[in-house]
Structures are given as structure tokens and as C-alpha cells.
Structure 1
Amino acid sequence: MLRVKSDATAGIVATKGQMEKGKVLLSLLIVLSIIGILVLVYMIGDAYYIQAPTAIKAPLSNNKFKILEASYPITPIRDSEHFMVSAFIDHRLNGFIRVISIINRNCLQPLYCVYCNAEKVCKTVHTKVQIHSDHFGFPYGASDVICTGKPMTDATHVLITVKNDSADLKMEYLPIKNKAVQETFKFNFTVCISNLFGDYNNVLQFAQTMEMYKLLGVQHVVIYNTSSGPDLEKLLKHYEMEGILEIVPWPIDQFLNPSSGWNIKLHKGDIQYYGQLVTLNECIYRHMYQSKYVLLNDIDEIIMPYKHATLQSLMEDLQSAHPSIGVFLIENHIFPKTQFEESGKFKRAEWNNIPGVNIMEHIYREPSRKNIYNPTKMIVNPRKVQQTSVHSPLKHFRGSVLVPFNVCRIVHVRVPLQGSLTKEQLVVDKRVWDFEQELIHNIDHTLKLSGFLKASV
């Protein structure tokens, strides 16, 4: 009996031990299940947090793996027909990342943002693709890819991808700009010239335009350059060395078949005017916190104040009259290069061998036509513009105002628009002559320094 009792007791003890082990295993399974559910819920949300690989060794003495930055101003988005250009923090939109892009409107697909910080911790989020409404019917258009979700404020680089499952640091990322809001600016006035292409070689007019703008108070000029003629190339290098000119390479013809016009029926291609709208928008964001004002005009145009000596005094008065406005529209007026001033006062022998147009000889302006709209260009506060077209903004804050013709207008020396008009039917406009003494001296000085004139001239 005692033996039987002892065996029974042992059985009971063994059963209790097994039950305790079972409870431990069950608890462990419950904990693991909860962790698994939490991970699953987290992973199917809007964002994926990924630790980038850190075990990759770089050659030579550099033992830190760096995020690979895009080597071209235009970067193809892998496995798509789209391109990314540059990336900025948009502090007006809760600190979201805005990627200036070129999107094929006929091949839309979901896109994702991968952005990483200096520790190579990367986050993948969904995007909103905003194709600008002005694309002129071309397949490719200027676009913004907005990275949604909670911003990573310490992000340094971003990649647009068609995949949402990983961060590949072997791909080319864009550095993120405009990381901090600035209240003071390096420049008061920056001119954005959208595109140089077709081996443009109008040296004299470009020198005159640059020197005129310097007298008006412009401190910085930006040109997006696809191609320029050999003579103009020399002048561009001079202004770049001087410090006033920033040249942004724009090799869009290496990626697309760009059109040389805006009308797709007349000028076939993939994108309007060598991507003019992309560069104008890029220039605005590039100078969001570098320049108080940005002027958007073509290389053969001068935004000219007529009642003020400088752009500074013009904008002080305009801003005083319209304190909340950030977009000022300036009427374009054509000075036909086929009509010459009769006295020959500025037909200077020193400039005879300089390629290009002498704007000082062309003082006859085409009259405004009743019920015909004069296109405009713009002076903008870049912090009040979200998207722009060529002649007016597409999305902006606080409205715009058309500056009266007699206060400011564009001097645009080019082929005539009203070609049937005689010289007598044109309007004499000698505004450029008001600056003749300083202007001619500065033009000659520049042409000497850049090798177009002998130093003795």
C-alpha cells in the first residue's frame, strides 16, 4: 500500500511539473503572438522603417559607407519612365519632402519615397504625385512628388522608387535642400533663365542684359544650360568666375527628345521647350531661402522699371501698396530687332565683330493692341509660390497683381510679332538709353575681360 501510494504521489508531482511547463510555453506563445500581431499591424501601415546596411566596406582609407548621391541633375527613376530632379523640405506643408520631377503622364504607376538620415536609417512612405496642369499636351510634364506620412526631420537624402519593400543604398539618392527656414537672404534679386539650347550664341545681347540687370540691382543669375555656342561659353565662364552667374547643367536631351517650342503640333517632342517648366519650378525652390525675390524671364528679356532707378525701389513701393502679395506680373513688350535707330548713335565699331544683337539700336516698341492680351513674366516672392507656369503661377499663396505698364514692363528685343507695322507705327521707347554711360562702360569692360575686345579699346 505504501508503495502504491508513493507511485501515485510521484505521478501527481510529475503531472504538476508538466502543467507548469505547459503554462510557461503557453505564456511564451501568447507573448510571441502579440509581438507578431504588433509587427504585422505596424508593417501594413503607411510607412516602413528599415535599417540600412552598415557592414559595407569602402575602398582605401574611407571605411564609412556613404549614401550614393545622384551624379546628374536629372536622375531616372528605376523601372519607370519618370525622372527625379531635386528635393526640398516644404516647410509650408508641414515639413513634407517635395521632389521636383518629370513624369510621363501616359505611364502612371504608384511611387514611393525612401528617405534616410545621416545614420542611414531609412523610411519608406507613400507619395502623392502632382502633375502640373500646364504641360501643353506633351507626354512628359513638370511634376511634384510629395512624400506623405510623418516627416523625418533629420532626413538628408531621398529616393523615388516603384518598390515599397526596401531601401537600396546602392541606388542614387537626391540630397534634401531647404532643411531650415531662413528669415534673411543672401540675395535680394535673383534672375532665373530657364533654358539655353540649340547652341545659343547671342553674346552681345547677353552681355548687355547682364550688365543692365547689374545696374538695376540684380545680384544673382541662374541659367539652365543644355547647349550654348562657343563664344557665349566664354562669356558664361567669365560671369561664373565673377560670381554673379550660376550655371546649372541641364542635359535633358540625353534622356528625352525635348521640343524646341510649346506647341506640340508644330514642335514635336517629349516635353515642352527643353523642360522649361521643370527648370522654372526648380529655380524657385532652389532659391526659396536664398533670395528675397526671384525674376522669371527669358534670356532676351529685361524686366525694366520705368518710374524707379532700381528694382529695389520698385519692389519697396509695390510691396508697400500690396503687402500680402507675392506674385507681381510684368507685361511683355516687343522691340523688333529689324528696326534700327536712325542716328546710328550706338552703332559702335567696337561691337561690330561681337556676335549677337545690339539692344541699344532697337528703341522702337510695338504698340499694345486692343483686346489682345500681352503675355507676362514675373517677379515673385518664392516663399509664396507652390507651382508656376511660364506667364503666371499655377498654385500660390495670397494672390497676384498686374503691375501697371507705365511702372514696369519687359524690354524684349526679338523678331517682330506685328511684322507688318512700319517704323512710324511703332512707339519710341529709349528707356535703356537712360543708363547709357555706365552701361556701355561696363559692357566694354566685360568684353575685354572675357577676351572679345582688346584691352586698349
Structure 2
Amino acid sequence: MPKIPEAFNSITPIKDSEHFMVSAFIDHRLDGVIRVISIIKRNNLQPLYCVYCNTVHDCKTVQADVQIHSDHFGFPFHVSDVIYEGKDMENATHVLISTKDSDNNNTEYLPIKNRVSTNTFKFDFTICISSLFGKYNNVLQFAQTMEMYKLLGVQHVVIYNTSCGPDLEKLLKHYETEGVLEIVSWPIDKFLNPSPGWNFQQHKGDIHYYGQLVTLNECIYRHMYQSRYVLLNDIDEIIMPYKHTNLLSLMEDLQSAHPSVNVFIFESHLFPTTQFEDSGKFKRAEWNNIPGVNIMEHIYREPDRKYVFNPAKMIVNPRKVKQTSVHSSLKYNGDTYHVNFDVSRMVHVREPMQGNLTKDQLFVDKRVWDFEQKLIQNVDQALKLSGLLQCEKF
């Protein structure tokens, strides 16, 4: 029996249109409809159809319902859900989006994922890192963040990689070999002119921040039945428990106290890279030639400004979220809960937002130091296994 030809790239142009399909899933919450995460040009939307098949010779076509997400930030291309309802859909294994109501001569079908729902999960926590781009090479901070999350109980990290620097590529390969990192190729720049920022007026481009909202939504569906929780944050951000030793005990307590909540929101708190702790004890010679930020040197936290938007991030139950934005979920079942600052907050080490403040106007926050012994040991080991740190330096 001939096989259905599959699309092997993470972005597939839709024939005779300006749109793209990304990945397809059965949505068991909506009576088993097919949901295709897509990139749609908002002002040029023609009728779209779904061709779904369980063999090469057994395909059906139905009209699609296109749901463009609401938070497009003014960019012409945006993440969308293309939804299909039809007969015998539960047997379908492959699908494509077509501009014609009778078209099964295309060559590239998406395999349909999540065909079986389950309540047992391979991972407790998966982190979705939306995209690497611009030859990003912040190796030391990346390694420290990965090792910090592993100490906190994260077993799986997903990165959508457009481009990165040569040193970081070595580190990525190490974590991929170790089994903790899943790398999804994301060549968005081969198809569109991605914006390097979130503001269309300022940054221009075809699609918001290298397709960040496409990848975050795709990641939720990709891990819906693999992971109990999904963290949506960037690689320079650590959702840090302050009253618990790890994320599992934190989430068990939060979920027990708030059983109806499926979206947990954590405040972002910025630790400026321009302010260093005074003793210099973490300015290690071993790391002198490793590019990137050393988060252990940055213990000064900017004061929160209640009148300024806080770019909080989330831990979500992926089985309850239908659409997400960056700082909040758009469509979900259940409730949202803003986690108290004292219980957990996000450590975000980056360039300052309040650069005029002096060190004595900042707050000392040494939570990362509570993990210093294991963290340094594990970072050294990761850098050594990546070939970035010479063995004789140990």
C-alpha cells in the first residue's frame, strides 16, 4: 500500500496562497476535530479546505473554520487555528490545508498528532522556549538556566531554533544527546521577514518576534499528552520557587489550594546585568572564555513598578488551554491565578529597565545562591561535555 507523502519541515506553504501550515492535532476536547496550527496572512484570507486521509485512496474534503488569534500586535501574518469537523475523522492519520474544495493531489500532508488522549505523562514539566535567532550565543546563561531548571525538577525543554552562535550550538547538541532538550528547526526567515521585536510600528516585519506565538501554541499542543505542566518563558528567565525546594512541590501546593486553576501567572522581576555582587566569588577563571552572562554575579533586583506592565510568564495545564499569548492565555478552561511574589517569582537576568538606579536603590535577592554548589558543578560538567571547557581546568 503506498504511503501518504508527509511534510518533513516545521513550516509548509499552503499551495496557491500566502499562508502556511505548521502542525496538526486531534482536539479531543472538541469531539475529536482536527486543529491545524497555521500562519495566516490576515488581510488575504480566502476560503480554505481540509483534505484528511487514512490511506492514499481514502481522503475526504471539508471546509475549514479559520480562527485567527486576537493578539496579532498589528503584524500582517499571525498564528491561527484552522479547525475541521467531518465524518470518520477519528480514523484520519494525515491532513493538508487546500484552497480548493476537491484537491488531494498535493504532495505534502501533515501527520495528525495527539490521536490518543491520556492521563499519564512522560514529564511533570516541559519548558517551551519560543525561538532562538540572530546567532544568539549567550552560552553561560543558557547553561546556568538549563541546570537550574533541572535542579528544580524540569525534565524536558523545547527550543524552536532559527539560528544560534557556534558555541551555543555545541551546548544544544550536548543537551539534546543528554535527552533533556528537544530542538525543533524553525526556519521562519526562509519564508517570511520576521520581526526582531513585538511592536509592529517600531520593528516592522511580517510576523511578531520570529513567530513566537506560533511556536508557543504549537508547543502546548505538541506536549498536551506528554507533560503534566508546560512553562512558557524565555531562556533568560527562571520561574523560581521561594518557599519550596522545587517546582513539583510548589505546583502541588498551588494546585491543591486552587483546584479550578489551569493558568498560573508568575511576576517577572529584573536583575540587571550592569550591577555585580561585590565579593566577586562567582567570577570564576574557569568561565572566563565562555561567552555570555553569569547570572550568579547578578543578585540585585529592580524594584517593582505597579504602574508599569509586568511581563509575567505562565505555567499552564496544556490540556485546558486552547490559545495562548505570551503573558496570558487567550482561550482556556478553568481559572487563572496570580502567584504571590513571596511564594514564587521569575528571576529575569538581562539589561536594566531602570538603568538610572544605583545599587543601593535595588533589592538584594540571593535565591540562586541556595543552589550554588550543585549548580556550579553541573554547569562545569555540561560545558566540559560540550567541548567548551577544557578538562584540565577541573
The TM-score by the shorter chain falls in which range?
over 0.9
Deviations 1:389-435 (A, max 9, x none): 00000100012100001111110000100111100000000000000
1:71 alignment partner in structure 2: 8
Q: 2:34 aligns with which of 94, 97, 110?
A: 97
TM-score (norm 2): 0.98
- Report deviation, 1:119: 6.1
Matched position secondary structure for 1:153: helix
Task: Give the count of matched residue pairs.
Answer: 393
SS in 1 for 2:170: helix
Post-superposition offset of 1:166: 3.2
The residue that corresponds to 1:123 in the other structure is: 60
Partner of 1:176: 112
Match 2:46 to one of 106, 109, 126:
109
> Residue in 2 aligned with 1:450?
386
Query: Aligned to 1:255, which of 187, 191, 197?
Result: 191
- Say if 2:96 is the partner of 1:159: yes
Equivalent position to 1:318, from 254, 272, 288? 254
Q: Which residue in 2 is equivalent to 1:232?
A: 168
Partner Cα separation in structure 2 for residue 165 and residue 272 of structure 1: 33
Query: Deviation of residue 151 (structure 1)?
Result: 4.8
Given that residues 96 and 151 in structure 1 are in contact (C-alpha distance below 8 angstroms), is that contact kept between their aligned partners in structure 2?
Answer: no
Q: Which structure 2 residues correspond to residues 189-204 of structure 1 after superposition, within 5 A?
A: 189-204=125-140
Partner letter of residue 107 of structure 1? N
Report the TM-score when normalising by structure 1.
Answer: 0.85
- Aligned-pair CA distance for 1:121: 0.7
Counterparts of 2:306 and 2:238 in 1: how far apart (Å)?
24
**Which is further off, 366-375 or 440-449?**
366-375
Distance in 1 of aligned mates of 2:164 and 2:73: 25
Q: Which residue of 2 aligns with 1:437?
A: 373
What CA deviation, in whole Å up to 9, does each residue of 1:258-304 have, x standing for no partner?
00001111111000000000000000000000000000001111111
State how far apart, in whole Å, the 1-side matches of 2:367 and 2:169 are. Answer: 29
Report the CA distance shift for 1:378/1:208 in structure 2 as closer, same or farther (over 3 A): same
Would you say the 8 A contact 1:335–1:364 is kept in 2? Answer: yes
Secondary structure of 1:442's counterpart equals helix
In structure 1, C-alpha distance between the alignment counterparts of 2:190 and 2:65, rounded to whole Å: 27
Q: Offset at 1:352?
A: 0.6
For 2:40 and 2:56, locate their aligned partners in 1 and report how far apart those are by CA, in whole Å. Answer: 31
Shift of 1:118: 3.5
User: Greater RCO between the two (CA within 8 Å, min separation 6)?
Assistant: 2
Residue 396, structure 1, aligned to residue 332, structure 2: yes
* Alpha-carbon distance between aligned partners in 2 of 1:437 and 1:382, rounded to the nearest angstrom: 33
Q: Quote the residue 2:358 is aligned against.
A: 422
Q: Secondary structure at the match of 2:89?
A: coil
Alignment of 1:333-344 (within 5 A): 333-344=269-280
Aligned with 1:242 (options 178, 188, 198): 178
Letter in 2 for 1:366: E
Q: Name the SS for the 1:281 alignment partner.
A: helix
**Structure number with larger C-alpha Rg:** 1
Contact 2:4 2:56 in 1 (8 A): no
| Match for residue 347 of structure 2 among 411, 415, 429 | 411
Counterpart position of 1:290: 226
Distance 1:205 1:199 in 2: 15
Distance change >3 Å, CA 119–CA 165, structure 1 → 2: closer
Alignment partner of 1:367 out of 265, 289, 303: 303
* One-letter identity of the residue aligned with 2:331: K
Of the structure 1 ranges 340-349 and 369-378, higher mean CA displacement relative to structure 2 is found in 369-378
How much does 1:158 deviate?
A: 0.2
Task: Check the 8 A contact 2:3/2:56 in 1, yes or no.
Answer: no
Q: C-alpha distance in 2, partners of 1:151/1:97?
A: 11
Counterpart-to-counterpart distance in 1, 2:350 and 2:61: 49
Structure 2 counterpart of 1:250, one-letter code: W
